[in-house]
């Protein structure tokens, strides 16, 4: 049985000698034994003395001998105290003997005790690395008279898993720990092991270990997105995805789910990417999109879901084919009136076949309510006709129609003029000229009637016989004068010049507008200018445009000028396409050519201004067309060529994007505020 104190004594006729011991303190597994040697009188003596006690004593290996004498009474006199450090549960042996100089020998004695076994902590040797959802391997000794208590801590939010080690089932790493360590693939946690004896702590040790987070994306795309197509016309002859009349392809929202620890991971990206022949055309958000294919080839939609750490899962949806196709058209249209007959020449164009299936193109002309089929076939061909008989004094409106089996049709309007006119200024591809008494048909001056110089008729009795007479004719100015206003028709630098002029007698100023006419091959290009228009300024937005038929128009925005107003369904997709277009800078071609001609030949093609070079910044119309934004382009209605960009409308595509980003910012601010409050409450 363990003892914490004890005594041993010997005696002779005069004296009693005794050693008392006890555990004075403990520290961990070490106990300090304190022993005191003392003496008193024996028998009925009230006092006794000896010149030397000759005491030999040993306390657990520590000498406690005493070699001295003296007087003692009936009470104990302490002679000597020693201490001895002993281990938990150690055996303690105390021995002593004495031969005082008075009273004779006291004899000898030896007694042994067992010290208490102390409670002690063990050692935490190691903690193994683990993956979320797994159980770490822990190695820790039991200690003595101790119970082990283990705690796992995520070293982030303070989340813990605690249990009685060796008694309860060991805890696993919960998936929720990943939420405190977003954006990393692993993090450091720690294990704390504490030893207790009852409620008394015997100490603890702590070691770090690594928690690996799931190494693949926890998200999955639950179903591949299947696009659907809309077509303005779907003839059975060209059924399928190759139909060139596809007006819109709609891609549904991306459907995805989570597994494992996915609930605790945020999404950094949910995106679909539309590729054409393996090259990315544009991307869209998780809500899906729609677009109009503007190029032929193989289209594929690739879906991507990415978590906060960058782990990505992808899937591809249906691949579909858009076959090459060009709508039918009539180009190089030339209309010539020859008496009662109409000479009509144009080039019929269009796609001959779609995915190997023949596409027949038909062209016809409609004049004065009469329709005549001109040509039927495939591919490009030149069409000519002179079969229409017209009244010479009437002007007719006509239209050329070219239609294919897909159902696409183009109409080109033209006017068949009467040859009987008073005055005609004509501009054509082969040059311009003036017709008097008829429409201009050939030459620079085409006259129906007699010509007089002064009072003499230019004919059989009057011919131009010298250069001086010719210069007199070409040098003349033609005037129409009425109350201070003039319409002046005169040669200018070798070209026709028509000028409307208003003489202001009060101010002396002469505001006028001018029209210069020349051949396309001449060094002077036709232009019109007006000083009065230039001098009339305004802060209003620009609202005047010009058609490909040279007609000025006023641009409006009020709903009273519009029909069938509806919302743009694919506005986010269109805005994202605009963001793919890069700004460019350039020099104007006409200005550059004017400058070059002025520097090399000393000739100014445009008399209305001095040539200069200036760098311009903006967008290129063809780039917008490539991004699928051709609805914001202006085109030549006859040739279909791209001409310009409707800048005044293009910016509206950014409004839906700005709105979406504003909503996302508000949501992110809300989440940040919520997290900040959670941190404050935790502190």
The residues spanned by each domain of the chain are: 5-114, 124-212, 219-322
**Tell me, which fold does domain 124-212 have in CATH?**
Immunoglobulin-like (2.60.40)
The strand order across the sheet containing 15-27 reads 5-11, 15-27, 30-41, 77-87
Which residue pairs from 510-517 have beta carbons closer than 8 angstroms and sit at least 24 positions apart in sequence? 511/535, 514/608, 516/492, 516/607, 516/608, 517/425, 517/427, 517/432
> What's the rounded Cα separation, in Å, for the pair 117 and 31?
10
The top-level CATH class assigned to 219-322 is mainly beta
CB atoms inside a 10 Å sphere around CB 350: 26
The top-level CATH class assigned to 5-114 is mainly beta
Same fold, 5-114 and 219-322: yes
> What's the rounded Cα separation, in Å, for the pair 155 and 185?
15
pTM for the whole thing? 0.36
Residue closest to 195 by CA, chosen among 187, 204, 186: 204
pLDDT tens column, 484-510: 444 444 444 444 455 555 444 444 444
Q: What is the pLDDT, as a whole number, of residue 437?
A: 62
> What is the rounded radius of gyration, in angstroms, for the C-alpha atoms of the chain?
55
Averages of pLDDT over runs of 10 residues in the chain (683 residues) are 90 94 86 94 90 91 91 93 90 93 92 89 92 90 90 87 88 81 82 91 92 73 70 61 69 73 61 86 84 82 77 75 80 76 80 79 80 77 68 73 83 73 57 66 69 60 43 39 45 50 46 46 51 68 72 80 82 89 90 80 56 86 90 86 90 90 90 86 74
Residue closest to 620 by CA, chosen among 611, 607, 629: 629
Q: How far, CA to CA in Å, does 544 sit from each of 116, 444, 549, 551?
A: 109, 32, 15, 10
Residue closest to 522 by CA, chosen among 496, 550, 549: 496
> What's the rounded Cα separation, in Å, for the pair 554 and 510?
28
Q: What is the pLDDT, as a whole number, of residue 521?
A: 40
């Amino acid at each position: 049985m363990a003892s914490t104190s004890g005594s041993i004594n010997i005696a002779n006729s005069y004296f009693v000698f005794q050693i008392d011991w006890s555990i004075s303190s403990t520290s961990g597994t070490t106990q300090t034994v304190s022993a005191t040697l003392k003496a008193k009188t024996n028998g009925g003596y009230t006092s006794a003395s000896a010149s030397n006690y000759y005491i030999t004593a040993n306390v657990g290996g520590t000498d406690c001998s005493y070699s001295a004498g003296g007087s003692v009474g009936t009470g104990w006199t302490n002679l000597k105290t020693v201490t001895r450090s002993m281990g938990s549960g150690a055996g303690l042996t105390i021995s002593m003997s004495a031969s005082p100089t008075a009273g004779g020998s006291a004899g000898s004695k030896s007694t042994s005790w067992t010290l208490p076994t102390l409670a002690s902590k063990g050692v935490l040797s190691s903690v193994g690395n683990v993956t979320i959802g797994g159980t770490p391997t822990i190695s820790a000794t039991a200690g003595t008279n101790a119970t082990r208590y283990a705690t796992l801590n995520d070293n982030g939010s303070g989340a813990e898993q605690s249990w009685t080690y060796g008694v309860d089932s060991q805890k696993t790493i919960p998936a929720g720990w990943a939420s405190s360590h977003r954006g990393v693939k692993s993090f450091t946690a720690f294990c704390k092991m504490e030893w207790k004896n009852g409620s008394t702590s015997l100490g603890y040790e702590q070691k770090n270990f690594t928690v690996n987070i799931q190494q693949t994306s926890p998200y999955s795309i639950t179903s591949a997105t299947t696009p659907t197509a809309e077509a303005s016309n779907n003839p059975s002859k060209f059924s399928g995805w190759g139909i060139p009349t596809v007006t819109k392809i709609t891609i549904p929202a991306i459907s995805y789910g989570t597994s494992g620890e996915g609930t605790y991971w945020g999404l950094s990206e949910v995106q679909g990417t539309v590729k054409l022949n393996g090259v990315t055309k544009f991307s869209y958000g998780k809500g899906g999109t729609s677009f109009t294919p503007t190029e032929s080839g193989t289209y594929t939609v690739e879906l991507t879901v990415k978590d906060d750490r960058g782990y990505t899962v992808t899937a591809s949806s249906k691949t579909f084919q858009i076959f090459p196709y060009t709508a039918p058209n009539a180009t190089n249209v030339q209309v010539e009136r020859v008496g009662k007959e109409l000479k009509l020449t144009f080039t019929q164009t269009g796609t001959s076949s779609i995915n190997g299936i023949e596409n027949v193109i038909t062209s016809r002309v409609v004049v004065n309510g009469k329709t005549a089929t001109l040509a039927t076939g495939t591919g490009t061909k030149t069409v000519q006709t002179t079969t229409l008989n017209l009244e010479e004094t009437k002007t007719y409106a006509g239209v050329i129609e070219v239609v294919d089996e897909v159902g696409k049709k183009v109409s080109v309007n033209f006017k068949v003029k009467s040859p009987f006119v008073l005055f005609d200024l004509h501009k054509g591809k082969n040059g311009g000229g003036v017709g008097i008494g008829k429409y201009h048909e050939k030459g620079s001056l085409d006259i129906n009637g007699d010509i007089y110089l002064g009072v003499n008729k230019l004919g059989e009795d009057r011919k131009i016989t010298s250069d001086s007479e010719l210069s007199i004719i070409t040098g003349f100015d033609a005037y129409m004068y009425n109350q201070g206003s003039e319409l002046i028709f005169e040669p200018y630098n070798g070209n026709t010049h028509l000028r409307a002029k208003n003489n202001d007698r009060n101010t002396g100023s002469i505001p006028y507008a001018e029209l210069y006419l020349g051949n396309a091959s001449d060094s002077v290009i036709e232009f019109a200018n007006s000083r009065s228009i230039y001098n009339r300024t305004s802060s209003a937005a620009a609202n005047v445009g010009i058609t490909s038929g040279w007609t000025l128009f006023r641009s409006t925005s009020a709903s009273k000028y519009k029909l069938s107003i509806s919302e743009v369904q694919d506005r986010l997709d269109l805005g994202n396409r605009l963001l793919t277009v890069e700004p460019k800078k350039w020099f104007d071609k006409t200005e550059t050519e004017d400058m070059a001609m002025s520097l090399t030949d000393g000739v100014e093609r445009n008399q209305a201004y001095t040539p200069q070079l200036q760098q311009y910044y903006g967008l290129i119309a063809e780039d917008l067309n490539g991004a699928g934004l051709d609805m914001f382009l202006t085109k030549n209605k006859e040739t279909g060529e791209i001409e310009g960009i409707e800048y005044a409308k293009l910016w509206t595509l950014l409004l839906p994007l700005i709105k979406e980003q504003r909503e996302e910012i508000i949501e992110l601010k809300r989440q940040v505020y919520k997290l900040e409050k959670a941190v404050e409450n935790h502190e």
